[in-house]
Chains A and B, each alone.
Chain A
């Protein structure tokens, strides 16, 4: 049946145009009930004999998505009109609904009511779009009831009073969400319910729990029309709010309209905005532009800003943001060049669910009923969230997930609802899961579709592989790998032999992952989504299924494996004479650990061929490294720690600094060289769609805190170029041996991290990698654990004419999305890794109070931050109690010292102090590591 929809549409130019669209109505859309005798039931998704089939309206989907995600909520029919409305209103809810629909274990069916000839409704004159859609929902419900007959009850779930009344008039069963869930008699489901804030539902039971008279705490959000016109006239500025990870009372809005960051101090200026929201900001008058409040460790208002002990940052992305302060006391107006503002409206919310726990509270007297509790997120950027629960005693010592629903002007905190429990607080598995959830890391087992893409096991190199003309047989070469001990996902191996002309042939062989992961397959989609493997202290979350990661792709010793090889001819001076790239078959003759490789090189008695190769390579690597440093590459340092884990209990047994040996540096050098060579090759062939990696030059502002520290200890650093900085870092030697490393660690944490990008999005000068002082760089050498390398393998193969370029590369936008996702996943994997180390540090020190040496890295008005080199952690040491006045001590900004008023005691930056580390529990179930001065 054909039907023409005509409607009037306003074009961008403001003209009004009549648009006519065809709309075909069909008779082949089925109801999705397997017991239906009329319809084709091959695609049926509903239960075999349900007593009730639920049809939900748009607002129920939008507000109660957590409820829908609960498997107890089954036999649901989603109408296409509902999905369309959800899509227009909230894309993230839409994606969640869609994933419920595609989950084969759920009995949820999508009925395309808009295209069914019996359920399509035409807009009546004088009817609003909403009314028409509500009517469409009712018509579809009625159709279902008539279609399925009286054995099944078709229930419309709506919280819209008017809709419900009309439905009842038309003889349709209809209920509100609340009454339906209550009829199920499940208290955990009741907690999932979002409390309605609208007038649509009878508020009696909710109303009386709220104080009748409450004062207004926050200023009003401006209506959207006012915001739009304000943005237009330039009085408001639009941008994404980013809350300081280390101080939730400070946030930034990057605004394009003023070309600078607007700082927002305090909860009232933030006006109920969350991290990640798109907001409209109004600038404050210039005389209210505040000095940075980061001078004190304590926070504002009644919430204590818990500046706890954390892992020492290793790049600017992990470090607390500090605002450059010009001398504080004497110059009052000094900081007034940094614009501050307040939020007047929220353009787009970034609400989702958060991990955390409830604020400890006594059980309310009338227990068993509804309790009000405050939820504290693990993510400190998120304010406390008010929730209602019927299972308070169960939840108090648990890690739970909570979603935000609303935040009105009268409440200090937003209100939300409980979603689910993860486990007990402090339990290692629970806390690890929290880390994973917080960082959006997918730990689900690989689906059967993904596993179906794997080659049959046991796999071995076949004769077709060997006879394939694109693949070179390099099994005769003496190839070996050097990795951390116990490494199972070996993605790189090396070889080196002397040529007759005195030159060396050096090969880097990388696991040929793209031979198994083909573009467009479920396996490829999954890997692309995961982006990277994640390494926690006690477990690894793989990007690719285990058979690929640990066996088929892993370049283990004494087995034939497929590889993608970069082979150079190098002079003894480590100059590259020629480079070639080929797919290959190799047979590794040894899988060495760094320690073993180092021991072999050091043992002068050993003269076997592999040791000789290692020594040759080490000589070459040293020359390459020297040349790189001469070009200005920075030798950066970070304090990485290593745990020894008990194999049975998985508890940390020992903790220590990760030692970097010459062997590590040797392997790293060749990997760098391979990455650079590959970057050159792919960019030459595909100048617009190559995936590269760049490291932005740090701005002066980023280096400012570091430079101030350096000046205070009498160092003069030249940061005009990476070369200059590298040289001045080399000359930074203090009285003690650790001083240089400390300075390097401090320098490293000022820089941002390298990022992936698509070459078409930037101009060649921006491709520069600052840290490596290389004009081009990419990732090629770890395709088992990084998806970026998989992409680069495909690019390289296409540039050699081995295979054709997959279609994604023709779509720049898609490629940009992929690189954005990779950056996001990469960053999250790092956050997760660090959080896992922090967790294990806490577990380790729980039973082992320790005294150790620490270095002061930051001075505050009531104490200082210390860095503990041995354990790689950083945390505050208080000289006074946070609540007492800090009159006893004063800070000398110039010299970065904190002095006692009477002059008897002073601490200066980078000074060594002895501290005591101990785990304390200021509140039950909330252990934290405390540092005190001895």
Chain B
């Protein structure tokens, strides 16, 4: 199948190096300590953060740093078939773990010993790149909750179809079965904290694809920074500072 036309346009009209439209909103769940909605094209996820708070199950308490927990789920209405999404299946367990590990790497957990941070992410609408969107939403929600972080994590995916590296695959491109790299970086520290890939890719092409994903992450980072700044400005304004 032709995913990139000879004119250099993808099926949805983007060029290979272009990301979908992104949009973020902070404070979508007022009950939570921090929350955010993040959209990448038609992929829409919501994240809510509770904590730092006392550890609920004392036996899990860690004396030197904070306990980070993450729960990922997909809303039943998030895909076209509207099937009941079982909780705790292998895929969501795996994604929960990926998000937890990625976020744990950037939270300054040693500053919050004997406490617990809960991150809930739910996919409201799925159209490819849910993993990345979840991480981006979680970053915003953590920042909203005022949890100390080394840097914020941003994530973006890139794939390789029709011998062309493609940024930010949507569902149709994702289900083509080609190589798909999901990358998470700490933009300021310039470090990679998450790197996942399905299927095989020659090493030199992998480098190109990875570079493209890094560019994507950086673009998301500058957008997130903007959103956070704006949010802070608004808070200042409301408090009359």
Contacts and interface: CB of A to CB of B under 8 A. Distances in A.
Q: Do A and B make up one complex? A: yes
Interface of A: 2, 4, 15, 17-26, 80, 87, 98, 101-102, 110, 112, 114-115, 804, 806-807, 810
A23 B13 contact: yes
B7 A112 contact: yes
Interface string B1-26: 01001110101111000001100000
A21 B13 contact: no
Contacts of B127: 20, 22
Interface in B26-83: 41-42, 80-81
Given A4-B42, A24-B14, A807-B202, A17 B7 contact: no
B111 interface: no
A110 B42 contact: no
A26 B8 CA distance: 13
A21 B12 contact: yes
Given A110-B6, A112-B7, A24 B13 contact: yes
Contact of A17 (B14, B21, B80): B80
Contacts of A15: 81
Contact of A115 (B9, B80, B201, B202): B9
B7 A21 contact: no
15 contacts: A2-B21, A17-B80, A19-B80, A20-B42, A20-B127, A21-B170, A22-B41, A22-B42, A22-B170, A24-B12, A24-B13, A102-B6, A110-B7, A115-B9, A807-B205
A810 B21 CA distance: 34
Given A4-B42, A17-B80, A18-B80, A112 B9 contact: yes
B174 to A, nearest CB: 13
Contacts of A806: 202
Interface string B197-213: 00011100100000000
B42 A25 contact: no
Contacts of B202: 804, 806-807
Given A4-B42, A17-B81, A22 B6 contact: no
B176 interface: no
A21 B172 contact: yes
A806 B200 CA distance: 12
Contacts of A2: 21
Given A98-B6, A112-B7, A22 B12 contact: yes
A112 to B, nearest CB: 5
A24 B7 CA distance: 15
B80 A114 contact: no
A80 B42 contact: no
Interface in B175-224: 200-202, 205
> A2, A18, A19: which has the most chain B beta carbons within 10 Å?
A2
A23 B6 contact: no
A112 B13 CA distance: 9
Contacts of B170: 21-22
Interface of B: 2, 5-7, 9, 11-14, 20-21, 41-42, 80-81, 127, 170, 172, 200-202, 205
B12 A23 contact: yes
A807 B179 CA distance: 12
Contacts of A22: 12, 20, 41-42, 127, 170
B172 A810 contact: no
Contacts of B13: 23-26, 112, 114-115
A114 B9 CA distance: 11
Contacts of A18: 80
A80 B81 contact: no
Contact of B5 (A25, A80, A807): A80
A776 to B, nearest CB: 26
Given A80-B9, A806-B202, 5 more contacts: A21-B170, A22-B12, A24-B14, A112-B9, A807-B201
Contacts of A804: 202
B97 to A, nearest CB: 28
B80 to A, nearest CB: 5
Nearest to A102: B6
A15 B83 CA distance: 13
A2 B22 CA distance: 11
Nearest to A4: B42
Contacts of A98: 6
Contacts of A23: 12-13
Contacts of B81: 15, 17
A18 B81 CA distance: 8
A404 to B, nearest CB: 27
A551 to B, nearest CB: 31
* 4 smallest beta-carbon distances between A and B, as pairs: A24-B13, A115-B13, A17-B80, A22-B12
Contacts of A807: 201-202, 205
A2 B12 CA distance: 10
A22 B172 CA distance: 11
A136 B68 CA distance: 54
B241 to A, nearest CB: 36
Contacts of A4: 42
B188 to A, nearest CB: 30
Contacts of B5: 80, 112
A4 B205 CA distance: 32
A761 to B, nearest CB: 19
A635 to B, nearest CB: 45
A2 B39 CA distance: 13
A268 B72 CA distance: 65
A18 B77 CA distance: 12
> A18, A22, A25, A101: which has the most chain B beta carbons within 10 Å?
A22
A102 to B, nearest CB: 7
Contacts of A19: 80
Contacts of B172: 21
Nearest to A21: B12
A481 B6 CA distance: 46
A18 B125 CA distance: 13
> B11, B12, B21, B202: which has the most chain A beta carbons within 10 Å?
B12
Nearest to A98: B6
A80 B7 contact: yes
A537 B182 CA distance: 57
A87 to B, nearest CB: 8
A23 B42 CA distance: 11
Contacts of A101: 6
A102 B6 CA distance: 9
A675 B218 CA distance: 52
B194 to A, nearest CB: 25
A117 to B, nearest CB: 10
A102 B7 CA distance: 10
A18 B79 CA distance: 10
A22 B171 CA distance: 10
Nearest to B12: A22
Contacts of B41: 22
Nearest to B163: A520
A110 B5 CA distance: 10
B183 to A, nearest CB: 21
Contacts of B2: 87
Nearest to A109: B7
Nearest to A26: B13
Contacts of B201: 807
Nearest to B172: A21
A15 B79 CA distance: 14
Contacts of B20: 22
B129 to A, nearest CB: 12
Contacts of B14: 24
A388 B205 CA distance: 54
A87 B41 CA distance: 27
B206 to A, nearest CB: 11
A115 B12 CA distance: 8
B7 to A, nearest CB: 5
A810 B5 CA distance: 24
Nearest to B204: A804
